[in-house]
Chain A
Amino acid sequence: MSTPFYVSPQQAMADRAEYARKGIARGRSLVVLQYADGIVFVGENPSRALHKFSEIYDRIGFAAAGKYNEYENLRIGGVRYADLRGYTYDRDDVTARGLANVYAQTLGTIFSSAGEKPYEVELVVAEVGTEPAGDQIYRLPHDGSIVDEHGSVAVGGNAEQISSFLDQRHRDGMSLAEALKLAVQALSRDTNGTEREIPAERLEVAVLDRTRPQQRKFKRIVGRQLVRLLEADDAARAKTDEPSDEAPETEE
């Protein structure tokens, strides 16, 4: 067996992280925001069939940026994990925290095992509570860490800029239309600060709605309902005095 060149562990990990980050950055960003009645997922996705957001369980939703086959695998793994747990114990015993832990372990092990290619994905696992205070949002970067997020979170290519934009404008108790509008605004900002228009057909939107009477709170918002929500806020905006959009430009 030939002796491989020595590469310091720091360098090896840095290379792997770099590789994963680049992969994730190629994908479009998506955002997850809390609003008064739940949690909304918004992303730009030209496909109607290949989803970035999905239902994991009654109150748990999943969002992913990065490489499709990898996050699809993790998504199905999550659905199996949740269904098995709910079947073995009870539906109430399936939690976002438990799922996030399993994902973190999985991503972490893959990231640090030299024989495997690191996953180029960044996940968000969100659980809607019966009250806004019970909402949980976890962000799971490629390396197996978990970040407990509040209010708003962005993952994918332009995530840092988008999250700082959201952090400044997101407030608790927003209506769905307001939150949706804010999310679309955040997503339409390009790296260089210019804005572009994202038409409703290219948006993928889903909510975990705590007011939904069904046990399963996850719902996709599509078609006319989406257009109506986007327009509803335009009308409301004309009346109220919202902070101007240009203000935080300097920070970006």
Chain B
Amino acid sequence: MEANFDRTGRLPAAFLTPGSSSFIDFLGQHSPDLLPGNRRLPEGIVEAPHGTTIVAATFPGGVVLAGDRRATMGNMIAQRDIEKVFPADEYSAVGIAGTAGLAVEMVKLFQLELEHFEKVEGATLSLEGKANRLSTMIRGNLGMAMQGLAVVPLFAGWDEGREKGRIFSYDVTGGRSEEHGYAATGSGSIFARGSMKKLYRGDLTEEQATTLVVQALYDAADDDSATGGPDLARRIFPIVTVITEEGFRRLTEDESSALARSVTERRLEQPDGPRAALL
């Protein structure tokens, strides 16, 4: 494994061949066994922990991406404090619903792919370029998806060229579509999307946008058993990240707990959350 040096201990030719700036391409050439898509799959369905709901919403000046903290395996809660939202690089983030183990591996490889490109080329990929790269990686996972090990991410980032936050959603085949305004993925996504549909406006501030995604996650947890709501007793709160011109920022433990608490408190009076106007 590692570098497969020949007897001399020098860097093998694959390392010194100019050309590709992609780490995945390099891995495919040099150690294909390390690529997630190249593994032989066992027969049948594999039971593994699944991550659940991810939501995103844009606001003028950026985009927020948030996720609940639950992973489930069948009807069991496999993990209460899993993290499913990660920075992809300084100006983008990825949140993943689906098979947790594969998702975390995919994110690790995706982060590395972006970093590798940046180091080799001395420039960052465009946001579209990053989104397409992720698309290719999901497509490579199709075989596993067919066996119930699907990975479905939501990708959000700051587009420097267009000077706005953008959201991309994916399906299991790697199909990519840009979402305008808000998006959700995972088992609770139907409820989260319904919630955001009624609450979203185009002129949200950053603070309102973070409140919006926490409301949506609350609604998802309210109706979907696989999505975890804020756990006040254990102090487990949703992960909320904001990407603006300034770059990626994850809300601190205190910030997200304050946010989740204020939402929860209001729900004590109005269990169904804020009401939208009828007409």
Contacts and interface: CB of A to CB of B under 8 A. Distances in A.
B115 A83 contact: yes
A108 B122 CA distance: 28
A72 to B, nearest CB: 8
Nearest to A69: B18
A21 to B, nearest CB: 21
Interface string B113-129: 00110011010000000
Interface stretch (A47-55, A152-160, A227-235): A47-55
B23 A85 contact: no
B16 A74 contact: yes
Contacts of B1: 88
B190 interface: no
A79 B15 CA distance: 9
Given A76-B18, A76-B120, A83-B116, 8 more contacts: A56-B119, A77-B15, A80-B15, A85-B3, A87-B23, A102-B5, A105-B11, A106-B16
B8 interface: yes
Nearest to A58: B115
Nearest to A56: B119
A84 B119 CA distance: 14
Given A84-B31, A88-B2, A105-B10, A73 B18 contact: yes
A88 B14 CA distance: 17
B112 interface: yes
A105 B7 CA distance: 10
A125 to B, nearest CB: 13
A102 B16 contact: no
A160 B38 CA distance: 51
B122 A81 contact: no
Interface string B96-126: 0000000000001100100110011010000
A83 B112 contact: yes
Nearest to B118: A55
A109 interface: yes
Nearest to B105: A87
Interface in B112-169: 112, 115-116, 119-120, 122
Interface residues of B, number: 26
B8 A105 contact: yes
Contacts, number: 74
Contacts of A83: 23, 112, 115-116, 119
A102 B120 CA distance: 18
A101 B11 CA distance: 10
A36 interface: no
A146 interface: no
A106 B10 contact: yes
Contact of A102 (B3, B14, B31, B116): B3
A109 to B, nearest CB: 4
Nearest to B7: A109
Indicate the member of A51, A77, A81, A108 with the most B CB atoms within 10 Å: A77
Contacts of B2: 84-85, 88
In the complex, the 3 A-B pairs of residues with the closest C-beta atoms, listed nearest first: A105-B9, A77-B15, A106-B10
B99 to A, nearest CB: 20
A76 B120 CA distance: 6
Contacts of A87: 23, 27, 34, 108-109, 112
A110 interface: yes
